[in-house]
Amino acid sequence: MPSIHYSLSLVASAFALGVLADDTADFDWSGIQPTKNLVYHPCYGTFQCARLEVPLDWHNASDPRTVSIAIRTLPAVVRHDDPTFGGSILTNPGGPGGSGIQFAEDFALPLQRIVDRPGRKHYEIVSFDPRGIGYTTPAADCFHDPVARSAWMLEYRGIGGLTGVGHGHLSESAMGYTLAMNDMFARHCRQSEAKYGEILSFVNTPSVARDMVEIIDRIDQLHNPTTKNTTQADLASTAVDEAVINGDGKVPRLQYIGFSYGTALGNYFASMFPGRVGRIVVDGVTDADDYANGDPGWLGNTIDDDEILERFWKGCFQAGASICPLANDTNISSASRRFWSWVKSLDEQPRSLEGPTGDTVVLTGDDVRRSVGDIFDNPIPGFRDIANTLHRAMAGNETDLFRLAVGRNPLPLFHNGTSSQLQPVDLSSIDQQYSILCGDGKDVTGKPVSYWMRYAEKQKAMSKLLGSYWVTSRLLCSSWPVRARWLFNGPFKSPKADSRLLPGIPAAPLLFMSTELDPVTPLRAARKMAKGHPGARVVTQEGMGHCALQSSPSNCTRSILAEYFDTGKVPDRDTFCKADCGPWDLNCHVQQGLGIPEID
């Protein structure tokens, strides 16, 4: 499926068998009237929700169109006038296109517990759906019809990935068909813009960063009625750094943690509005320069993947067959050979399968490569799960084969076994992901099959397992129909921080976090990005997985994080943190909510 490996939309568990666990549907957002100032309403149990109205076009004060941003806040355990109230921490789960509203469901409480220092600092956790996404309106939606979207996705899936079906190497005809599918997608987008109004060119990252300024200003205003309102005219530029002065003569500042793509958003923010930086943590770091300026870019992301696969095999054999049944083989090379020849047999002869509720699906070699790659995000508990699934699947167990076909990506259309009602797939659909991703990046439209074939070969050289799948991330922009109205191409840098809250200067250096081996945002990107922000430090956490906080439990990482939010202090130098346990340890769990990120 044309979904990408870049986000952490924390939905459901690893193998949801196509049933979308959307915990956010039980609150009626349409019951909230959007407002220019922040008005909270109780929602989702202990949360508070608001719809904040902001201009669609930050650059055109005479354009009356607006966007209503859905905000979901977990209040602090103390009142905001309590001396230990530490302010708001905004979050972004990645994607691009991940829903903050959905993310908050599992993530807000564990995050609050990690950053709170009882009796000393207590924070509220603020999540929001970025423009175009989820419950924020208007939605970036090229189809306006779940059946039309699903039909497109099913046909796309039918190509069988860029290897096509039949041989397992890159196929020009599969590439040609994929380009035509992307063009068809673009036609849907154009039709939608003409019929329902413009949105796609207004949802990319600079506007979202500007929206975050608005969110923190409006939050400040709740507690501090003398905070001035900014006018749209004030805000056409980074002059917004100084635009809002509250009673203390200080500007409200952002406290933020972003994961994966959310690190690009954090980097854009720090680079565009350095005087608005309070604390910024980025975990699982995107190379923002490559993301914004790569042509086509996205080549270095999967550099760790084949190494992760090797470590998977080593760990499996060390753990032994009682924990990792794939180790029931003579040695690693014969187990690995058995795996690849099985994948090859599926490349040559895809299989039709039936799931537990009667859904049917065709399994290809590409599905297996992708499912195994997906697991790399979360070795805990992913490694043990996939080892068992692969073991049974290779022995012919249909349930497990079905799981591999569906992976973590629900089938584009499913009926849930009890009704014939078709349901849409996702809160953050491809239109939403790609309107941001293609909007931010260089224009790659109009390139021939040969251009993309060369690109795909390079991706495949980067990772045998995932390269040909990762191509999709950029390939889906091959006919992207609009140019973003507000582009920011860097430089991704900020001035040296100063805790005295000086205009135009961050209050603290940025804190970068990464695992040693990350399947889509490798450590070297964190090191590269940190160079643009003087005083920033990189915390490298032992082990594999996408984003440190979500890969393994580590008291070390967590205490650095809490210290940073509290005091603004980063470690004296780049730091290595041990993980408390690893993927093959039976009692190793990642804290609920921080432990079950999903990519899609």
Ligand X SMILES: *[C@@H]1O[C@H](CO)[C@@H](O)[C@H](O)[C@H]1NC(C)=O
- Site residues for ligand X per CB under 6 A: 19, 36-37, 60, 62-63, 228-229, 321, 325, 328, 330-331, 333-334, 392, 397, 399-400, 416, 418-419, 421, 555, 580
CB 487 within 8 A of CB 206: yes
Q: What is the DSSP string of 360-419?
A: EEEE-HHHHHHHHHHHTT-HHHHHHHHHHHHHHHHTT-HHHHHHHHHTTS--SS---SS-
Angstrom CA distances, 157 to 165, 230, 360, 367, 410, stand at: 11, 47, 14, 10, 12
Closest CA to 520 of 339, 159, 203, 264: 264
HEC letters along 323-339: CCHHHCCCCHHHHHHHH
Name all contacts of 229-238 with Cβ < 8 Å and 24+ positions apart: 229/36, 231/61, 232/55, 232/58, 232/60, 232/61, 233/61, 235/58, 235/210, 236/58, 236/59, 236/61, 238/272, 238/273
CB 394 → ligand X: shortest distance, Å? 11
Beta carbon of residue 465, minimum distance to ligand X (angstroms, whole number): 21
CB of 513 vs ligand X, minimal distance in Å: 17
Sign of CA dihedral 525, 283, 520, 302: positive
Question: Least distance to ligand X from the beta carbon of 12, Å?
Answer: 12
Minimum CB distance to ligand X smaller for 159 or for 309: 309
Q: Give 3-state DSSP helix, strand, coil % of the chain, rounded to 5.
A: 40, 15, 45
The least CB distance from residue 246 to ligand X, in Å, is: 10
CB-wise, 198 or 307, nearer to ligand X?
A: 198
Closest CB to ligand X among 206 and 467?
206
Q: Which is nearer to ligand X, 60 or 66 (CB)?
A: 60
Q: Which amino acid type is present at position 72?
A: R
Type of residue at 492: F
Shortest Å distance, C-beta 541 to ligand X = 13
Of the pair 156, 584, the CB lying nearest ligand X is at 584
Q: Which is nearer to ligand X, 172 or 329 (CB)?
A: 329
Q: Which is nearer to ligand X, 341 or 421 (CB)?
A: 421
Q: How far is the CB of 36 from ligand X (least distance, A)?
A: 4
Looking at the Cβ atoms of 384 and 474, the one nearer to ligand X is: 384
Closest approach, Cβ 307 to ligand X, in A, equals 19
